[in-house]
Chain A
Amino acid sequence: MKDKEFNNILNECLERLLVKGESLEQCLQSYPEQAAELKPLLETALAAREASAIQPRPDFRARARYQFQSALKETAAGKGRTSWGWFPRWATVMAIVLVLVLGGGGTVFAADSSMPDSPLYSVKLATEQVRLTLTPSQMGKARLCAELVDRRVGEIAYMANKGDVQQVEMLTRRLDDKLDLLVVLVGGEEAASAPGMLMAPPPEEAAAPTVPPTTEDAALPPALAPSPDKGWGGGDSARNGNRAQLKNTLASDAASNRAVLRAVLDEAPESAKGALRRALAVSEDGYEEALEALEQS
């Protein structure tokens, strides 16, 4: 009972200090019997609040606001989104049709080489997602994912040369997502368990307030999600051979992509250098994590 009373007094003092702007002395005068116990606690609370009163960086705030407004406008404009995330519905439908029915025709080919400033780029991303989903083995997915990481680096270099900082930042996030997926895949976890990447959320998350997946890689229809029994494929010998091959590929990709990004960084406009350094760090860290995960799996 005494504790409860003290908790109430402490809370009242905090409200007066933090919300009403009263002084510490004023609060303590109201509760002389508890003042000795209250004082250090209120001082700590004040210090914690003051120290935590950090603000987002202005450039981040501006970028975030721009991206949010763009997403808001797109939503308000009624551009349909599917459970596949942020791909426009037309791109997803087209990708599925082209990959499943045509097996990759001229449009897929054209989209495959498109860059983020191209109208076909959405088809490219959707096609990649379909390919990832339809690739049966975890080893196959890992190889494809490594290829997609390569693509993102190429796109970053392309957009950096054009001085498009926002696209470089967006692509860096996509690069990060793909590298995270790669780490999960090479780490031996089932692809289906990759958080928010290849499957719908588990039931306990679905029961929580609706929080959609975080990237365009999110939430595939369960029917297209990978079968959990498809692992690295083959026996131990084949598995080890595949792992060694993948390790060589990743080590080689890590080196070449580092070289590409460094070269672009040297030549890029000043305005794009910060974003490129971030991309370089994401690339280096991601490959390092993937190689470590492969080593430990």
Chain B
Amino acid sequence: MQDEESLVRRAQKHDQEAFAQIYEEYFDRIYRYITFKIGDAVEAEDLTQQVFLNTLRSISSFKWRGKPFSAWLYRIAHNQVVDYLRKKKKTVVPLEENLASGSDNPQQAAERKLDIEQVLAAARHLTDAQREVISLRFTSELSIAQVAEVMGKSQGAVKALQHSGIVALRRALSVTQNEG
């Protein structure tokens, strides 16, 4: 993606091409982030769409203050998730057949689905902060610095959460695999 600051400034002036580039750049990552956070790939679709509509409506309020645009965008996604969970009082549920994988092979798809379910089930055992870090790092592929900006924490704190989150995830995965 071209220089993000100039792209965002163009988008703030309703440059359709610039906004479309931002959309394409972040759409899948925001979708994965939300799916991991709420554990429901279908519900994540509407929330993802809403995040981008909200972004479109509010981008003019974004100010460059040394923080990356992605931090602001993920903050919108985070607020959307919080609002959704508060509204639905929903806990993580297994993914259903609407989940798409990168493969058309039914067996591979089934194995992948199982893996996703295991990961999501295991993620329930993480603290909110650990789940946020794991989600931003491994589903949205943000750097430690970006995650620190999104969460408003130091990079050292994020690294520590990353460590403890992976340890907790591994422990939870071994439990769910043994139960399975």
| Total B residues in contact with A, Cβ cutoff 8 Å | 60
Inter-chain contact A7/B170, CB cutoff 8 Å = no
CB <8 Å contact, B45 and A57: yes
Q: Would you give the shortest CB distance from B47 to chain A, in whole angstroms?
A: 9
Q: How far is the CA of A43 from the CA of B75 in the complex (A)?
A: 29
Asked if residues B86 and A11 are in contact (CB atoms below 8 Å), the reply is no
Q: Is B28 among interface residues, defined by CB-CB distance under 8 A?
A: yes
Inter-chain CB contacts under 8 Å: number: 148
Cβ-based interface call for A259 (8 A):
no
Q: Is the CB of A76 within 8 A of B16?
A: yes
A73 and B139 within 8 A (CB): no
Contact A10–B138 (Cβ < 8 Å): no
Which positions in A face B, CB cutoff 8 Å?
Answer: 3-4, 6-8, 10-11, 14-15, 18-19, 40-41, 44-45, 47-58, 60-61, 64-65, 67-69, 71-73, 75-76, 81, 173, 180, 195-196, 205, 208-212, 214
> Assuming A55-B100, A64-B49, A68-B49, what are 14 further A-B pairs, CB within 8 angstroms?
A7-B163, A10-B159, A10-B163, A10-B166, A19-B141, A48-B134, A48-B138, A56-B48, A68-B23, A68-B53, A75-B56, A195-B83, A209-B58, A209-B61
Residues of B whose CB lies within 8 Å of any CB of A are 14, 16, 19-20, 23, 27-28, 31-32, 35-36, 41, 45-46, 48-50, 52-54, 56-58, 61-62, 72, 75-76, 79-80, 83, 86-87, 98-102, 112, 115-116, 118-119, 134, 137-139, 141, 143-144, 156, 159-160, 162-163, 166-167, 169-170, 173
